[in-house]
Structure 1
Amino acid sequence: MMGILYGVGVGPGDPDLLTISAIRCIELSSVIAYPCLEGTPSFARSIVSNYIKESQEEISIAIPMLREHEPAQQAYDRAAKTLLERLREGKNVAVLCEGDPFFYGSFQYLFFRLAEQCPIKVVPGVSSLMSCSTSLSRPLSGRNDVLSILPAPLPDTALKSCLQVADTAAIIKIGRHFSRIRNLLETMNLEKKSYYIERSTLPNEKIQNLNSVDPAEVPYFSMILVKRRGEI
């Protein structure tokens, strides 16, 4: 009998934001898998560490820290093959995913590789978009507001065109792109309507004005919320 593959959203970092369903799926699984950047511990695992038992097999999916697309795809190919072997043994497998599995989540790369080969259950998680908004005490949108989610690696022309029409914009995946994004917001006179936050819900969460941020210290887990206007 084929096991079940669970794509488990574990939220933005605070274990208190884990859902009951996420915990249940972890408990039902013989195998716990999680992505991590090559050579670093898994952030997703750290969120649920109190719920992982010694009897459960753990599989770390190491993702190369390269800009090229192909090495990461090869890593997911290998991981899918390994997980499918466990599933064919009748074992349930929980793949941990930071935030929500289908909102820029790493689990989707395994989902597309395995969706036609095994039963899959996806467990939603609290996304960093939601937690950043609440940490900042800034509602994302209301009534007929237009909300845009913008990955920072997009070119300036694409970012600018989206920012010009959005009531609220969340710029994610900031990291090394911070200086360029800050310059763009300044040229659009949006810097005073922008709010920077990093490591939302974690003990070292930080909220700053854009001018106070050191670009060299900006982590991947950061976001800029731009509130151009909004309905109440």
Structure 2
Amino acid sequence: MSTLEDIAGKAKAGTLYGIGVGPGDARYMTLRAAALVRSVDVLAYFAKTGRQGNARRIVSPLVGSGRRELRFEYPVTDEIPSGHPDYEAQIAAFYRQTAEVLEAEVRGHSSVGLLAEGDPFFYGSFMHMWRRLAPIVPVEVVPGVTGMSGCWTRANAPITWGDDILTVLPGTLDEASLTHRLAASDAAVIMKIGRNLAKVRRAVHAAGLIERAIYVERGTMPDERIVPLAEMDDVEGTYFAMVIIPGQGRRL
């Protein structure tokens, strides 16, 4: 009988892997991702200070004792607006230093798996490593189930029908931009909710979409929460939350 590694392949020395670990439930990881988590020499991941790191938590069932790990703690997350010069300076320096550490590991012939929530190429920190390292060391990107896919599935809400056009928006946009783009959308996903929840709710209401909007918090995770946005009276959401607005296109 074939093993997981026989089917999905093992890690190669001297390679950096950007491993998409899916939306939160380890059972939604791909075979390739699971096999690499088990076979890389070094597991690397990003985390907020004082937190386990969501990507690391997702893969916990696959990680045995004694594994070598690299934890990279963000110097700042949502304490400063992302467009602020101090935020950009601190994060840019952090990514530069992180890339240097990863490069040294790979050039030392280690296989390194850098974990990424959802898909590595979708609003992920891994992209900043890929941009710096792909031109100079071997890098393989392993796609993952996106957080939004996990959320609309758990909400039992097909997102696009027929010729519906899906718009994906960051909740960090200003309210007027959110409203304008939502009003022109058949279906939408609004990410990066957090402290932007009240603004997002106003924009969705102004665009005439409040009755279709669904708030999903920690989708596929043990403590997930799914409620109509119209019923939300919270002042803030969480980092792992999004609003989905299903389309109403052609249904046969």
Is the shorter-chain TM-score for this pair beyond 0.5, marking a shared fold? yes
TM-score by length of 1: 0.94
Equivalent residue, structure 2, for 1:113: 132
| 1:69 shift after superposition | 1.8
> What is the aligned-residue identity percentage?
34
> What is the Cα-based RMSD across aligned positions, in Å?
1.6
Equivalent residue, structure 2, for 1:124: 143
The C-alpha deviation readout for 1:68-92, integer Å capped at 9, x for no partner, is 2221121111111011111111000
Residue 60 (structure 1) aligned to one of 62, 71, 86: 71
Equivalent residue, structure 2, for 1:142: 161
Asked if 1 retains the 8 angstrom alpha-carbon contact of 2:183 and 2:208, the reply is no
Asked if 2 retains the 8 angstrom alpha-carbon contact of 1:2 and 1:88, the reply is no
Residue 35 (structure 2) aligned to one of 1, 17, 24: 24
SS at match of 1:220: coil
User: How many residue pairs align between the two structures?
Assistant: 232
| 1:10 shift after superposition | 0.4
The C-alpha deviation readout for 1:129-161, integer Å capped at 9, x for no partner, is 111111111111133211000000011222122
Asked if 1 retains the 8 angstrom alpha-carbon contact of 2:34 and 2:62, the reply is yes
Matching of residues 1-232 of structure 1 within 5 Å: 3-63=14-74, 64-65=76-77, 66-67=80-81, 68-227=87-246, 229-232=248-251
* Distance across 2 between alignment mates of 1:15 and 1:194: 27
* Distance across 2 between alignment mates of 1:21 and 1:228: 32
TM-score by length of 2: 0.87
* Distance across 2 between alignment mates of 1:17 and 1:105: 18
SS at match of 1:142: coil
* Distance across 2 between alignment mates of 1:227 and 1:110: 33
* Residue identity opposite 2:122 in structure 1: F
The C-alpha deviation readout for 1:111-130, integer Å capped at 9, x for no partner, is 00101111111001111111
Note the residue ranges of structure 2 that are not aligned, 5 or more in a row: 1-11, 82-86
